[in-house]
Amino acid sequence: MIKVGQQAPQFTAPAFHEGKFIDVNLEDYKGKWVVLCFYPGDFTFV
Chain mean position to CA 15: 8
According to the model, what pLDDT value does residue 20 have?
A: 93
In a domain, 18, yes or no: yes
What total number of domains does the chain contain? 1
The parent domain of residue 44 ranges over: 9-46
Cα–Cα distance, 34 to 45 (Å, whole number)? 29
Partnered with residue 12 across adjacent β-strands are 25
Condensed to tens digits (0 to 9), the pLDDT of residues 1-46 reads 778 888 888 989 888 889 999 999 999 988 898 887 767 666 666 5
Would the CA dihedral through 5, 25, 22, 39 be positive or negative? negative
Q: For residue 3, tell me if it sits in a domain.
A: no
Q: 33 in a domain, yes or no?
A: yes
pLDDT of residue 36: 77
Per-residue pLDDT, 7: 81
Alpha carbon separation from 17 to 1, 2, 5, 28, 29 (Å, rounded) = 28, 26, 27, 15, 16
Domain annotation covers residue 35: yes
